[in-house]
Amino acid sequence: MSLIARIETFRVPPRWLFVRVETSDGAVGWGEASLEGHAEAVDGAYEALRDRFIGADANRIEDIWQVAYRLGFYRGGPVLMSALAGLDHALWDLLARRLNVPVWQLLGGKVRDRIAVYAWVGGDRPGEVEQASRIRQQQGFTAVKMNATADLDWLARPRDLEPVLERVAAVRALGLDVGLDFHGRVHRPMVRSLINSLEPLSPLFIEEPVLSEHPEALAQLTQFTKLPIAIGERLYSRWDFKPFLQSSSVDILQPDLSHAGGISECRRIAAMAEAYDVAIAPHCPLGPLALAACLQLAAATPNFAIQEMSLGIHYNSSEYDLLTYLSNPHVLDIRQGYVDVPSGPGLGVEIDEARVRDAARVPHTWRNPVWRGPDGSIREW
């Protein structure tokens, strides 16, 4: 029997929380519990997980998941589910490494050989977006995602929509597919106008056109547009996703494997989605372990569509990126819009532990930036 002997957490720059689980026989597994802007809260949740699971059988992944979720009484939410996600990743990594197979093999085997990926591009002007998209093309991407709009008031003027359309057209002119992230910034009166204007440009999907806390508005939008609607980064369990599937108000689910209970829970969310003919495109503007978990799920999930991949973005720093803490960075090489299914054991990535421990000596305190409109009122991040 392999008993959990130690659960360690590392708050490493730029904004990640890594998890290391060691068993009584010296085996090690890694996971990621990053929750942007709330690392301290998630880190604190591990005190209770240590109390429960030090001495537990590390091979009983599902039992540990159920105990952590159900016997804490207060269930769900971003903090608890992110902590559970990091532990879940590490336990899958441990078991698969013990058996010397990739995690996807334990999930039933792979259903594809390559995994479609996309990357974020920033910029408020068409020229800025075009330049950023050219860099993505050089990196091997054939699809990108960008903000639908930085700011729209409750009743925006038609000319306020023009920069959005110009930016999308600039990317499409390069031959790239583009997804549009609304971030829930656009209020319902303007969403319909913007979507109607975007339809001729055929974006891959529109993400969070309204916040997930407005399911009735999302259901209305589904009837209004032919564009695929994606949602899910702020949903944390199969129960959170359930009403959106029942109302047929989404086309693509975007659970974040670092926020929504890990591989175990997102595997169940994907199976639920398949029953409703809904695709999975996991959210992941995070670190290498979260991405590695996503790739394992993608390899074994029939209704997987495309994977977000944060290569050198988001962090306002050139010192850290997706490859910083890896000793085998080439496992994430991009070729013609795809990453090969990882073939190594466990999650398929090798962490440079010495570098992680050194970086965590000064834990990060990353916070979400504050966005305000021209009138000084707060906007969604």
Cα–Cα distance, 90 to 346 (Å, whole number): 9
Take residue 261 and report the two structure tokens written for it: 């209970």
- Are the C-beta atoms of residues 154 and 189 closer than 8 Å to each other? yes
Partners of 290 in the β-ladder: none
Burial class (CB in 10 A: 0-12, 13-18, 19+), 159: exposed
DSSP three-state, residue 184:
coil
Cis peptide before 14 (omega within 30 of 0): yes
Spot the catalytic one: 283, 314, 330, 364. 283
> What letter would DSSP give residue 45?
H
Active site annotation includes 214: no
d(C-alpha 367, C-alpha 15), whole Å: 8
DSSP 329: G
Paired with 22 in beta bridges are 6, 28
List the catalytic residue out of 183, 259, 314, 364.
183
Taking 3-state DSSP, the helix, strand and coil percentages for the chain, each rounded to the nearest 5, stand at 40, 20, 45
Catalytic, 283? Answer yes
Residue 188 burial (C-beta neighbours within 10 Å; 0-12, 13-18, 19+) = middle
Catalytically annotated residues: 183, 283
